[in-house]
């Protein structure tokens, strides 16, 4: 199923900053090695009430329109799966009422049937 990012929240993405999230290689508690990760992302800073409105959209992949057409995003939250990718500056900003959050950013491609 191809879910589009809701148009009512397009303004949140329009002002996003493209960044690269980096997580160093590490060995987990069970001794499994994990490679370093570099992922494209969108960084947003939005009012707390707007963040609460988009929270239910977290951890699902959404395709984008507009200036990010051909891309898909996933809002990363406190799920342990995303822990290594979540930058330290994510969360509530002091005295501003704004939240810094990150969306993983991926290219999407459509397959076309041969004519």
- Please provide the DSSP assignment of 28-70 as one string: -TTS-EE--EEEEEEEEEEEHHHHHHHGGGTTSEEE--GGGTT
Mean pLDDT of 82-90: 57
Q: Which of 48-52, 82-86, 94-98 has the lowest mean pLDDT?
A: 82-86
Percentage of the chain beyond pLDDT 70 is 79
Q: What is the pLDDT of residue 16?
A: 93
pLDDT digits (tens, 9 = 90+) for 22-62: 878 888 888 988 888 888 999 999 898 998 899 899 889 99
Assess whether pLDDT exceeds 80 at residue 85.
no
The band of 97, judged by pLDDT with boundaries at 50, 70 and 90, is confident
Predicted confidence band at 72 (pLDDT cuts at 50, 70, 90)? very high
Plot region of 32 (φ>0 → left; ψ -120 to 50 → alpha; else → beta)? beta
18 Cβ contact list (under 8 Å, min separation 6): 40, 41, 42, 43, 105
Look up the pTM and report it: 0.77
């Amino acid at each position: 199923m191809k879910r589009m990012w809701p148009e009512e929240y397009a303004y949140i993405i329009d002002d996003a900053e493209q960044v690269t999230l980096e997580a160093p290689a590490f060995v987990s508690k069970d001794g499994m090695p994990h490679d370093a990760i570099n992922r494209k992302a969108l960084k947003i800073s939005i009012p707390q009430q707007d963040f609460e409105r988009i929270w239910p959209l977290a951890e699902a992949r959404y395709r984008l329109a507009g200036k990010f057409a051909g891309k898909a995003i996933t809002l990363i939250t406190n799920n342990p799966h995303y822990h290594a990718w979540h930058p330290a500056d994510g969360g509530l900003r002091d005295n501003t009422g704004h939240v810094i959050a990150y969306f993983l950013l991926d290219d999407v491609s459509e397959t076309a049937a041969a004519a």
